[in-house]
Structure 1
Amino acid sequence: MCGICGWIDFRHDLGADEHAGTLAAMNRTMACRGPDQEGIWAAGPVALCHRRLAVIDIEGGRQPMHLDDDGAPPLHLVYSGETYDFRELRDELTAAGHRFRTASDTEVVLRAHREWGRRDPRGVPRRLNGMFAYALWDTAAEELVLVRDRLGIKPLYYSPTPDGVLFGSEPKAILAHPLADRTVDGDGLRRLLSFVADPAHVVFRGMREVPPGHVVRVGRHGCREERYWRLTETAHTDDLDSTVAHVRALLEDTTRRQLYADVPLCTLLSGGLDSSALTALAAKNIGTDGGTATGPVRSFAVDFAGYTDHFTADDVRGTPDAPYVHEVARWVGTEHRDVVLRTEDMMDPAVRRATLHARDLPTGIGDLDTSLYLLFRALRSESTVALSGESADEVFGGYRDFHDAGTVAADTFPWLAGRMLNRDPHDPGLLRRSVWESLDVPGHVDDLYRAALAEVPELTGPAADDPHERRMREICFLYLTRFLPNLLDRKDRMSMAVGLEVRVPFCDHRLVSYVFGTPWAFKTSDGREKSLLRAATRDLLPDSVVQRVKSPYPSTQDAGYEKALREQVAGILDEGDDAPVAPLVDRAAISARLDAGDSGIDPAPAGMARRMELERIVDLDTWIRDYDVALSV
């Protein structure tokens, strides 16, 4: 895993000394993503920068990497991520006459572009199984190719300039360049407040993401985006037993592939079906992949001081994680460690600023970010790679919203109509009503919703005449393409902020495509959520975990947390119009919320939503100040 950035300018020589400071500044912002090595290569119109977290071929995988020994015009590459089928591809390329200088997956991708990407660079990522974001400079074509994996596991941003483009793994790399625009206009604020992943657009004006499953080609005549992969309709002909068997085979294969590493590896364990199944599969397959990782598997879980002893159930979180975590660790035989956090850890201003800096955005989800950051920071001292159960809910239909008739029928994104975020879309909350109404966030969300529905592949066969099957296919598509990217970004940013690589086996595109095409009746064959995953891994787990009802990522229930949060908001309110966030918020509404008193943590969804509004005030204020944001509303 790594951080990449760069600059293309067709009117200037970027190898000139005058640009060295700018390139160094851009690359420096990626230091957390790549603490092991750094490299900058600049010549003519191109500059490629790289920070490396060494995971495979520690000595040989240095970047930028160049292919200039085969008599053809050179290719130059900066690469972030992992290609899990690189050994098979290496064998193919060797048979085609390529001679490798390293044992890294980076060189495989570079030579793959020589062999299979000459006419169309999209031919290369179609062959890759992995999570990746990379930039390739083709000297013969004078073209930069930006490539992002199918589901957008690894981030990649770009910002067109009058004479080329700036790009980076994170917005902060682009913002380090003097040409970058720090303005956040109405479109950016709508993106920020919508709780919907927009496949391309970014909060900062003029900046874009490379959409998942796309390449961006940058030449003298501008930038163009080209798709190389999408979710499609496949006529599912397997019966239920065959489907379960195939899901198990895919899970075994993707887990085995993702255990390959030349550095210490672990799993993230929450005691739910997803992470427990993954941990059990890792324990079963570790040492069979040909890599250096061997058992027993190490596992880590996040917990809060006193959480289990004083846990209060609600209709979202019915049980604490710790008892299930410990049962799975004993059952599977992992070397387990709980990372126990206190309120003062999560409210530490330095920690909150670190998480905000990692996200580049004021997410307003508070301890859900800070606790994940602190978990990753703790386990990084013992491991460099972690496997996570992220995306199983989106793939297998795990959220309660999938199974609530009212939410399914709602004419909007299900997570906005469901239990966690359900609120009156016309209620500005703690924002100024004039700002909220001028932004028309509900209208923006509806536009995004209609656009997403238009992308859903048409059903074929008998299922095409079943309205419920069609709607459930839409729900699955919406979660995979408009909700999951937010979770993947959170996981990537919090982990890479401490130099930790987190792999997500449930995002294997073969598994995602296969399960997406299965009938909804298969996904609920035992009358509840995630039937296919449960059936495919039941033999690996204790029955208590197999039967456990889904519980989301934990959130602290310590009343002291909300008290500290209210104090921070009160401090912002005391600044009056001098507070950076003042133009956006309703001071009277905030004051009334604070005057209502501190009744402690309300674990119910409504209480969580109110707390998130306070979190957003703090995050917005810090973000505008720290990022020197120019608001244009």
Structure 2
Amino acid sequence: MCGITGWVSFQRDFSTASSNTIDAMTATMACRGPDDSGRWIAPHAAIGHRRLAVIDLVGGTQPMTVETPEGVVAMVYSGEAYNFRELRAELRARGHRCTTESDTEVVLRAYLEWGSAFAERLNGMYAFAIWDSRTDQLVLVRDRLGIKPLYYYPTEDGVLFGSEPKAILANPLADKTIGMDGLRELFVTIARPDLAIWEGMHQVPPGALMTVGREGIRTTPYWSLRTLEHRDDRATTVRTIRELLEDIVARQLISDVPRCVLLSGGLDSSVLTALAARHLRNSGERLRSFSIEFHNQQQDFVPDEWRATLDAPYARAVAEHVGSDHRDIVLDDATLSDPAVRAAVVSARDVPAGFGDSEMSLYLLFKAIREQSTVALSGESSDELFGGYRWFAGAAEHGMHTFPWLSVLPPPFVQRTRLLDPDLTAALDLDTYLADSFADATAEVTRLAGESDLEFRMRQVSHLHLTRFVRTMLDRKDRMSMAVGLEVRVPYCDHRLVEYVYNAPWSLKSFDGREKSLLRAATADTLPRSVVERVKSHYPITKDVHYTEAIRRQASDILATQQHPVFRLYDHDAVTKAVDRPADEMIEPDRFDLEQFLDFAVWLDRYAPTFT
């Protein structure tokens, strides 16, 4: 995994100008690529790269170039193409002479062979930029599910781009301005696929190819979630899912550096652990697995509607069952509440996400894993794909009038505005924003001929999760992992699996009356019975009152500085009342309000944005 950035300008000559700016843009992503740094300059393009070496440690250096009779083609690349071996064989058969063993060269030569159609041939997670001096054109490509981030910022005579906003913001042409829609996105739990919160900045849409030339910018989708008839019966569907998972896991274990699995003890991660352990065992290798725990977790844990059981016993049962080399990463409240950790998380995210210890614990987990492994497999997006969240069943039974997760989450999680200045809350008008976003999102879904109202509604629910909800999950996972130079792969996002399961009717996805019926049926033979029967438990958060007390103290310190810029957005009296509530009386929404307040304070200090 890596970080990429660049600057295209048709009115400049970069070959005679200082490279300080592109170097500064590249340097912002050193954490994404701790192993190497490089840049490549052409008259109208400057591209930079930070490398995390995973495949072909010696030969995969970037930026990578190929000389053609018509001119040089250069590429910077982030991600992995899991089918690079098959593509390389096909390219060699067509006369290409690959000089490295890297997937980077395969992707570049695939572009030379097939032009813009090459993106459709890739299987993986990726974001890359190609400068084609034969046409003086930039090509930006992002993977189908948007696993890897890619941002761009149009200028008067070209474009800036980068894996993260901070790379673009390091260029003096980019304004650090936040408009109303950007601000709205910070207070709701949805994510529009093409929106960046910074005014003038956008994301390359998932599954899209973008070209930048003298005539302007053009975006062309090469993939989308298409509505297709599912003709397989239950037995065939279950068997196909198993075959796909076996192939996907095998592909995503390819690496020239140590790899592992993130194991929570839930169905999703346990399946990956079991399949990965079996695959590696065949080659005489033992799988590493990692779980997260909190200090005093056994004593502090109280079952609730979101987390009925502790993860640890199930994770250990799976590790013992499959024979993985397992380690629990135990975090204490002092480490979790360290302001330096919060600052690192906000810097990694580029936004004040406000998810509190759930993000800081993820960051610390990845930091600990990175000491032993460079690549990790994660169960992200399985719930979105197989219908694992309880609000899927709610939408099936009661209908859907907004994003389904918003109908189940407590109101303070839906619109996190309880501590904001009342005038700002009114101006944001989040009810209208959510309604408009919901209408736009559901309008993207095509109905199958003859599809019942229930099946079409559940298709919409699935589509919303795979194009909106999962965006937040994938971005969080990417930023927290890349902040410490760990590559996290997400097998459930393989587009072949997504296409197949998306089109399976809800009656199949819930055939046994439980969540994730198809995944359970396809993999039950690989797992302990206790894990197969376990009810979904959401990502853990600490229950330690000392952590909450630390959050109160930190918020109180900011209150003492009434001129802090955070009070341009937050109401001083409302924050004071929240801080005055005793730590042992705070419920999760109260704590998350203060968490986001603290995130905003850190973010405003670091980025100093202008609001319009």
User: How many angstroms apart in 2 are the aligned matches of 1:575 and 1:490?
Assistant: 30
Matches within 5 A, 1:7-86: 7-18=7-18, 20-68=19-67, 70-86=68-84
Is the aligned partner of 1:610 residue 2:604? Answer: no
1:435-476 deviations in Å (ceiling 9; x for gaps): 01111121111111100001012123x4x1x11111111111
- 2:297 is paired with a residue of what secondary structure? coil
- 1:302 is paired with a residue of what secondary structure? strand
User: How many angstroms apart in 2 are the aligned matches of 1:227 and 1:423?
Assistant: 36
- 1:623 is paired with a residue of what secondary structure? helix
Tell me which of 369, 386, 389 is aligned to 2:359. Answer: 369
AA partner of residue 41 (structure 2): A
Shift of 1:184: 1.0
Match of 2:426 in 1: 437
Match of 1:604 in 2: none
AA partner of residue 468 (structure 2): R
Tell me which of 486, 496, 513 is aligned to 2:482. Answer: 496
Tell me which of 509, 519, 539 is aligned to 1:533. Answer: 519
User: How many angstroms apart in 2 are the aligned matches of 1:219 and 1:527?
Assistant: 53
User: How many angstroms apart in 2 are the aligned matches of 1:29 and 1:421?
Assistant: 37
AA partner of residue 461 (structure 2): I
Shift of 1:599: 2.3
1:294 to 1:379, Cα distance in 2 relative to 1, 3 A: farther
Match of 1:619 in 2: 599
Query: 427-436 or 139-148: which moved more?
Result: 427-436
Shift of 1:194: 2.0
Q: Is the 8 A contact 2:333 2:546 kept in 1?
A: yes
Matches within 5 A, 1:230-249: 230-249=224-243
Moved over 6 A (4+): 424-427
Shift of 1:287: 6.4
Shift of 1:116: 0.5
Is the aligned partner of 1:449 residue 2:438? Answer: yes
1:459-518 deviations in Å (ceiling 9; x for gaps): 23x4x1x11111111111101100001100000000000000000000000000100000
Q: Is the 8 A contact 2:189 2:414 kept in 1?
A: no
- 1:147 is paired with a residue of what secondary structure? strand
1:321-344 deviations in Å (ceiling 9; x for gaps): 001011111001000000000011
Is the aligned partner of 1:414 residue 2:404? Answer: yes
Q: Is the 8 A contact 1:401 1:407 kept in 2?
A: no
Shift of 1:348: 0.8
Q: Is the 8 A contact 1:425 1:442 kept in 2?
A: no
User: How many angstroms apart in 1 are the aligned matches of 2:395 and 2:57?
Assistant: 52
Match of 2:578 in 1: 593
AA partner of residue 420 (structure 2): L
Q: Is the 8 A contact 1:329 1:335 kept in 2?
A: yes
Match of 2:293 in 1: 303
Structure 2: tracts of 5 or more residues without a match: none
Instruction: Give the aligned CA root-mean-square deviation in angstroms.
Output: 1.5
Shift of 1:610: 2.1
Match of 2:329 in 1: 339
Tell me which of 179, 182, 187 is aligned to 1:188. Answer: 182
Q: Is the 8 A contact 1:156 1:210 kept in 2?
A: yes
Matches within 5 A, 1:40-439: 40-68=39-67, 70-117=68-115, 121=116, 123-286=117-280, 295-405=285-395, 409-418=399-408, 420-423=409-412, 428-439=417-428
Query: 404-413 or 130-139: which moved more?
Result: 404-413
Match of 1:4 in 2: 4
Shift of 1:26: 0.6
AA partner of residue 499 (structure 2): S
Tell me which of 582, 598, 613 is aligned to 2:567. Answer: 582
- 2:447 is paired with a residue of what secondary structure? coil
User: How many angstroms apart in 2 are the aligned matches of 1:426 and 1:3?
Assistant: 32
1:333-388 deviations in Å (ceiling 9; x for gaps): 00000000001111111111111110000000010110000000001010000000
1:238-257 deviations in Å (ceiling 9; x for gaps): 00000000000000000000
Shift of 1:65: 0.4
User: How many angstroms apart in 2 are the aligned matches of 1:414 and 1:341?
Assistant: 33
User: How many angstroms apart in 1 are the aligned matches of 2:411 and 2:250?
Assistant: 39
Q: Is the 8 A contact 2:39 2:49 kept in 1?
A: yes
1:190-247 deviations in Å (ceiling 9; x for gaps): 1221211111111111000001001111111221211110001111110000000000
Shift of 1:598: 2.4
| Percent sequence identity over aligned pairs | 52
- 1:529 is paired with a residue of what secondary structure? coil
Q: Is the 8 A contact 1:559 1:600 kept in 2?
A: no
User: How many angstroms apart in 1 are the aligned matches of 2:416 and 2:439?
Assistant: 22
AA partner of residue 64 (structure 1): P
TM-score, normalised relative to structure 1: 0.95
User: How many angstroms apart in 2 are the aligned matches of 1:438 and 1:372?
Assistant: 34
1:427 to 1:78, Cα distance in 2 relative to 1, 3 A: closer
Shift of 1:294: 5.5
Tell me which of 481, 494, 497 is aligned to 1:511. Answer: 497
1:71-100 deviations in Å (ceiling 9; x for gaps): 343211000000000000111111111111
1:489 to 1:424, Cα distance in 2 relative to 1, 3 A: closer
Match of 1:558 in 2: 544
1:156 to 1:284, Cα distance in 2 relative to 1, 3 A: same
User: How many angstroms apart in 2 are the aligned matches of 1:52 and 1:198?
Assistant: 28
Query: 439-448 or 82-91: which moved more?
Result: 439-448
User: How many angstroms apart in 2 are the aligned matches of 1:525 and 1:294?
Assistant: 38
Q: Is the 8 A contact 1:146 1:217 kept in 2?
A: yes
AA partner of residue 430 (structure 2): V
AA partner of residue 602 (structure 2): T
Shift of 1:600: 4.7
User: How many angstroms apart in 2 are the aligned matches of 1:567 and 1:375?
Assistant: 25
Query: 255-264 or 302-311: which moved more?
Result: 302-311
